[in-house]
Structure 1
Amino acid sequence: MKRIAGIFIILIFLYSTYYDLTIGTLPSEISKASEPENEQKVSVESTEEDTMTEEPMSEPFQAVTVEPGNTVLSIVEHLHEGPYPATIQDIIYDFKELNGIEPEEMQIGEEYLFPLYQ
């Protein structure tokens, strides 16, 4: 009887692991947020004039002077007065795009641009 129960528990564990890795258990809102939104599809018939009029999507940002103990995530959380409405990867990517440096390279007393989300 113990052997059957052990096999049953192992089968449930293997099935739940398979389900989690293939289908996932995250809500659809979270998984959609992690997908890149700014993929631009270029049509074959686009002319040079069309590409000149397109402007890159720009998100609002705010300049903040870094103090001791501040991190990119803590500053963004403070700017939004609570939890930030974007994934950590999106915030770090946007910080890199705005400032051209890695978050680990921030210096105390320097001013950097931090993304604002709606």
Structure 2
Amino acid sequence: MKRLVTIAIVLMILYCTYYDLSIGTLPNGLTKAAEAEQEAQIQREAEQPLPPPLAQAPYQEVIVEPGHTVLSIVEHLHEGPIPASIQEIVYDFKELNQGLEPEDMQIGKVYRFPLYHSH
């Protein structure tokens, strides 16, 4: 019985090795199709209209103090819940400050922070 199981395992290993070397386990045609679909998705996203520029968007200039973050300052500028997601707040901050990342803010400098109105 042990010989039969050993022979079956050896045959399975040989077959798997043959299959992997001759046909392969990575899909050949699917990777090209996936790349084409990804490029089409990127092109569709590029064709979508961009949001209006925030040049006219309301903002308030604030001097950053130790411990302040973009979110803490925006929360301080608003009463109640803010009608924007964290991603929107960070995006708007970057737009108002010439692409400055929030983590690059410096203490004592003045930055523009977006103001949101409840709908």
Would you say 1:39 and 2:49 are equivalent positions?
Answer: yes
1:78-97 matches, cutoff 5 A: 78-97=76-95
Q: Name the CA shift for 1:98/1:69 in 2 (closer, same or farther; >3 Å).
A: same
Q: In the alignment, which residue of structure 1 is the partner of 2:110? A: 111
Segments of 5+ residues of structure 1 without an aligned counterpart are 1-37, 41-54
Q: In the alignment, which residue of structure 1 is the partner of 2:39? A: none
CA separation in 1, counterparts of 2:90 and 2:105? Answer: 12
How far is 1:85 from its partner? 1.4
Instruction: Point out 4+ residue stretches in structure 1 off by more than 4 angstroms.
Output: none
Select the structure of larger CA radius of gyration.
2
SS in 1 for 2:111: strand
Whose helix proportion is higher, 1 or 2? Answer: 2
The root-mean-square deviation of aligned C-alpha atoms, in Å, is 2.0
Q: Name the CA shift for 1:82/1:62 in 2 (closer, same or farther; >3 Å).
A: same
SS in 2 for 1:81: coil
Match of 1:74 among 60, 72, 75: 72
How many residues are treated as equivalent by the alignment?
A: 67
How far is 1:56 from its partner? 4.0
CA separation in 2, counterparts of 1:87 and 1:110? Answer: 25
Letter matched to residue 88 of structure 1: I
